[in-house]
Homo-oligomer: A and B are copies of this chain.
Amino acid sequence: METSNLKKAGLKVTLPRMKILEILEQSETRHLTAEAIYRELLDSGEEIGLATVYRVLTQFEAAGLVCRLHLEGNQAVFELERGGHHDHIVCNQCGRVEEFYDETIEQRQQRIAADHGFSIRDHALVLYGDCSDESCPRRPAS
């Protein structure tokens, strides 16, 4: 029962929080903007304000339940924290987001930071390109 995650995080189990968690868990797109979540709530007939969505997501982030990514757009996207750290590849055309993890890159980052006298606390690596998905709106030689 995922309400335990909320309790563990010291958050009251309220309807908006449960619904938002549910959407994050069930969405096939693992990366959602606050507005996308808001729209899904509205579509489900829930009367939850956008401000609440932002507040809840911010609390989730602080509690480590969710992480917030700033992909090149202006809107942040939120992703359920499922444990394994990873970085992202984004398709410039269709916006699809894929995840990857590369041990070599992780190690090089540590090395580089040390060489520059930094102790790394976090990092953000996003690759932007064109995917080869069938449904990608990118057409050959437009």
Contacts and interface: CB of A to CB of B under 8 A. Distances in A.
A13 interface: no
A85 interface: no
Q: How many copies does the complex hold?
A: 2
A43 interface: no
A108 B109 contact: no
Q: What range describes how many residues of A lie at the interface?
A: 20 to 34
A120 B123 CA distance: 19
A11 interface: no
B120 A129 contact: yes
Interface in A105-131: 105, 108-109, 112-113, 116-131
18 contacts: A89-B112, A91-B118, A100-B112, A102-B112, A104-B104, A105-B109, A112-B127, A113-B127, A117-B131, A117-B132, A119-B129, A120-B127, A120-B129, A121-B128, A122-B127, A123-B126, A124-B125, A124-B126
Interface of A: 70, 72, 89, 91-92, 98, 100, 102, 104-105, 108-109, 112-113, 116-133
Given A120-B128, A124-B126, 18 more contacts: A72-B124, A91-B118, A100-B112, A100-B116, A102-B108, A109-B127, A112-B127, A117-B133, A118-B130, A118-B132, A120-B127, A120-B129, A121-B129, A122-B129, A123-B126, A123-B127, A124-B124, A125-B126
